Structure formats: structure tokens, C-alpha cells
Amino acid sequence: MRNFKLPSLTSKKRIKFSLKFGVFLILILFSSSCVKHPQLLYFRSQSEFVPLQNHEIVNQIRVRIQPDDLLFIQVKSLDQETADPFNLFSAGSGLQMSAQINPTLQGYLVDSDGNIDFPVLGRLNVAAKTVEEAKAVLSQKLSAYLKDPVIIMRFVNFRLTVLGEVNTPRTISVPGERITILEAIGQAGDLTAYSNREKIMVIREQNSKREFGYVNIHSPEVFQSPYFYLQQNDIVYVEPIAAKTADVRDPISEILPLVSGAISIAALLIAFIK
């Protein structure tokens, strides 16, 4: 029985074969970790966003007071001495100056029933009210004691957290009452190349319930989402895309066995076809 032999290849053909085989292996190794340009875009098809011009904003949230919120409240009047009993610290005192620098020192903590203990007036219920609504209630009660009182009220602990595939995961303090998910991502250092821009989770707690929502910033519907405007204590989580796995793993430990195996296979093939 005759031994079967493959026709021998010239040196030039063997070199070409080895090069092609090497390129094929490189493509296999790195194609899975490739992030394509459309994935990196915030608003992928900008023509889809054009019809949104001049649309009325109907999903803007009026932040409402919840249990465990901390409120800064200060009462002012033309006769400040008559207003001092309604403040935690009297005007001009060292304690008040310290409180102005650090408002948490002069904060009113909302209890589990939605109440605050206010000087002279006693317990006031402010749960589920906006700051303007709570100021109106307080102003009405103060009218029996003060003429034209001025009430300064704001959230002290309006915070939210951004986690996941952002460059600087962090907890953000919001000085006002309005922040969008895009602003929060910007303050967290922007999205990384490996973020899933089509599935950003918002975890929200309100009315003693927890809810989960998703935002897709590739879609024009992002601006109509109830999660576009964030609330106090929201958690924004940006999940990674599949290509992130190549970045997380140790490149040396992952690639070396593959390269070693590829070299061995190439050597066997070359030896076989000689």
C-alpha cells in the first residue's frame, strides 16, 4: 500500500499560508472586544430627534418631600427679633453662621410619618408636598405671629448615586431641585466606551415602594421618560456591554494560552504540508 502524501508547497506559499493563518487568529482574538462607532453615540440617529423640537415638556418632576429628607428652613421678617423664636438659631449668632456654612446643622429631619418638629408651631406634616407647598403651609401658620414672613426652604440631602460604566462613579449632591439623567452622567465623568447606552437602570424609592426603570439614550423617547428627570436618592446604574469582558480579564493570562495553541497548530500544519 502506497503512502499518501500531500503535494509539497513552495516556501513562498508556506509564508503566505502562515500570514493568512496569523491574521485569522488575530481577528478571532480581538473581534469580540471591538466597540463599534454607533454604540458610542448618545443620540444615534439624529434625524429622529428633529421632530421633538418645540415639544412641550410634560414629564418634569416636581420633587416632593419624603421621610428621611433633611430640610433647611429659615424664617425672616422686617422685625427679625420677632422671627428669631421660629428659627433653630437666633440671627447673628455664631451657631447660625455655622449653620449657614453647613446647612445640615440647621436641618429639619422628616420623620417616618412625614412630620417635622418646628419651633413654637410644633409638629407639621410636610410629606408628599413640594417645597412651595410646604412653604405655603408654614406661611399660613406663621401669619398669626408675623407680618409678611419670608421663608427660605430647600433640600439639604438631595443626593443621587451613579454607578457602573461611568468614568467617575460617585454620589452627587444637587443644590437645586432639578437634575436630568444626562446631567448626572456628565457629573460622573461621562459614560465609558463599554457602557450599554440602550439600557441604563434607574432605581427609585418613593411612597415606601421601590421601582426600577430603564432609559435608552439612543432613542428619542429618552426625553419623555419618567426617569429622565431624577429625584432625591435615585440610583443610576449603567451596565456594561459584552465587549467589557475582554477589558476586565487579565490580557496576559487570557491571550497567552490562545497564542501558544495557535503557534502549535501552525507549526503542526507547516510540518505536515512540507
Confidence at residue 240, expressed as pLDDT on a 0 to 100 scale: 92
- The C-alpha angle 33, 202, 47, rounded to 5 degrees, equals 65
Confidence at residue 203, expressed as pLDDT on a 0 to 100 scale: 96
Confidence at residue 89, expressed as pLDDT on a 0 to 100 scale: 74
Confidence at residue 6, expressed as pLDDT on a 0 to 100 scale: 46
- The C-alpha angle 233, 114, 144, rounded to 5 degrees, equals 125
CA distance linking residue 105 with residue 43, whole number of Å = 43
Decide: 70 and 110 in contact? Cβ < 8 Å.
yes
Confidence at residue 95, expressed as pLDDT on a 0 to 100 scale: 46
Confidence at residue 242, expressed as pLDDT on a 0 to 100 scale: 82
Confidence at residue 52, expressed as pLDDT on a 0 to 100 scale: 59
- Lateral strand order in the sheet of 209-215: 170-173, 159-164, 235-240, 195-206, 209-215
Q: Is the pTM of this model over 0.85?
A: no
CA distance linking residue 61 with residue 45, whole number of Å = 27
CA distance linking residue 88 with residue 111, whole number of Å = 17
Confidence at residue 159, expressed as pLDDT on a 0 to 100 scale: 93
Point out the residues of the chain with pLDDT beneath 70.
Answer: 1-40, 43-59, 90-106, 245-274
